[in-house]
Amino acid sequence: MSRICVPVCARSLDEMRDAVERAAEAADLIELRLDCLDDVEAASRAVEVEDARSFGRPLILTLRSAEQGGHSSVDYEGRRRFWSSLKPPAADCLFDLEYDLVQDLSSAASLHPLDADWKQVICSHHDFKGVPPDLEKIYEAIAATPAGIIKIAVQANDAIDCLPIFNLLERARREHRELIAIAMGPAGIITRVLGPSRGSFLTYGALDDENATAPGQPTAKQLRDVYRIERLDSETEVMGIVGNPVNQSLSPVIHNAAFAAANINAVYLPFQAHDVTEFMRRMVHPKTREIVWNLRGLSVTIPHKSAVMPLLDWIDETAKEIGAVNTILVRDDQLLGYNTDASGLMTPLINRFGAIRDARCAVIGAGGAARAASWALINEGGMVELFARNLGRAAITAKDFGVPCHQLSGADFAGFDIVINTTPLGMFGAYQEVTPATTAQLLGVRLAYDLVYNPIETVFLRQARAAGCDILSGIEMLIAQGAEQFRLWTGQFPDANVMRTRALRSLVQ
């Protein structure tokens, strides 16, 4: 059973009541973060169980210490007094207490109201620095208390940091213990999505993007609508995108929508990995991975497209010639590598521009996408020239494919039929207001193609439009290459219109 708890963190009682009403629309449980209130001494007034129950959702009451990620400066004695003097709430209310308090209160001669039923107590431990080496001992210490539910949350800096969390869930399942186990941070989202299907008592989803109460916490709406968390089980096939970073990728949105439309029991997840070799060894390859799951395939993005190649058992000829893999298929006990970037790039380009033969094509960039674009254009008979900020890096691609290479700064693209940006310049975030080429540089170009898809219209495309160019957004490549990945993993073609609609809806929100 997948339960989503929506934490409510508000500075006043009125704000908290309003937030509880909104949270009830998406939550299975609601957590009142009493430590967020400005007046913590009056926190007991927020515990209006009758009001909360009128929304049909049970409560979790939390007065978190600052050391464990709380927002209040209330000291240990203040928290102890609060819990000891709290009026007995309803039976469907849970209490989240830190380990030190549980130890103290459970040994007291008289405990009011918690001595009513320790099964209602969540005994929690948080580590915001990383995964402690003694995680198993922490679990055992909490399990030795009378608390009915164990909660352990640690900071994940890499996807492989999630492995100890999944191990704890498996142990708790064997020992018939209720456990909430979460890896925080963007790298830990896979524990939030897969946790309930692997036995976690609940998972946490924020009310909205502005109200996350822990690092990397997705919204309840994302958990339900994107990841379809209520449909996941032990048989669910797992796919995902591995890279660094991956938190801005739209691939989870489009692939999960395609799985839903095709009625396939599968989920697509983001895997943030710094060391792709360790990730592939410990989480992916069937012969060495340390997790039992139905992993079917991966998308590969920056910066790992070339680095994964020595880790695979077989690579198709297109990927070998390009020198980059963006798609991995797990078949039996082997990893097979493909490149769908080339076909994904060319399909929308040919649909818009027509035949590429003898067209003069400028490719901006020096990475894996530039290699894929160069290979695909040459394969279609185009005349390619590379432009890059890092000539040393671009020279490798230029030599491999026998094409000229130029410095991007001050380049003049007059006379080129097609200019393709394969760099992250213009991407949502730090580079959003940057363009690899200006209007003056693009005068005379027939078509400008930006492989960046977020935002839909980048500064580069706006500059190109002003120069009189036809323009093509990277969203079309995203859909085309993703559709081919879907076919490789599932053996069937996805509904590309569903993928495009969900992608565009996410970008305009």
Q: Domain with 325 in it: what CATH number?
A: 3.40.50.10860
Do 363 and 349 have their domain in common? yes
Percent of the chain with pLDDT over 90: 73
**Considering the domain boundaries, does residue 231 fall inside one?**
no
Is residue 49 scored above 50 in pLDDT?
no
Do 394 and 322 have their domain in common? no
CATH code of the domain in which 395 resides? 3.40.50.720
**Residues labelled as active-site residues:** 305
Do 86 and 24 have their domain in common? yes
Query: Could you tell me the two tokens for 182?
Result: 């979460």
pLDDT (0 to 100) of residue 51: 52
Percent of the chain with pLDDT over 70: 94
The residue among 423 and 108 whose pLDDT is bigger is 423
Give the lowest-confidence range in 97-106, 115-124, 210-219, 424-433: 210-219
Which residue segment(s) compose the domain that 501 sits in? 239-339+480-508
Which residue in 194, 152, 202, 222 sits closest to 4, CA to CA? 202
Number of domains comprising the chain: 3
**Considering the domain boundaries, does residue 17 fall inside one?**
yes
The residue among 509 and 77 whose pLDDT is bigger is 77
Do 57 and 121 have their domain in common? yes
Question: Which amino acid type is present at position 199?
Answer: G
Q: Give the tens place of pLDDT for each residue, 453-475.
A: 989 999 999 999 999 999 999 99
Do 321 and 378 have their domain in common? no
Query: Could you tell me the two tokens for 471?
Result: 């323009």
Do 398 and 463 have their domain in common? yes
Do 38 and 157 have their domain in common? yes
Is residue 509 scored above 60 in pLDDT?
no
Do 329 and 354 have their domain in common? no
Do 255 and 324 have their domain in common? yes
pLDDT (0 to 100) of residue 397: 92
**Considering the domain boundaries, does residue 228 fall inside one?**
no
Do 197 and 260 have their domain in common? no
| CB-based contact 508:475 (threshold 8 Å) | no
Do 172 and 284 have their domain in common? no
**Considering the domain boundaries, does residue 389 fall inside one?**
yes
CATH code of the domain in which 175 resides? 3.20.20.70
Distances (CA, A) of 508 to 453, 478, 483, 495, 505: 12, 16, 22, 21, 5
Do 81 and 155 have their domain in common? yes
**Considering the domain boundaries, does residue 234 fall inside one?**
no
Torsion sign, CA atoms 171, 173, 177, 183: positive
**Considering the domain boundaries, does residue 229 fall inside one?**
no
pLDDT (0 to 100) of residue 8: 93
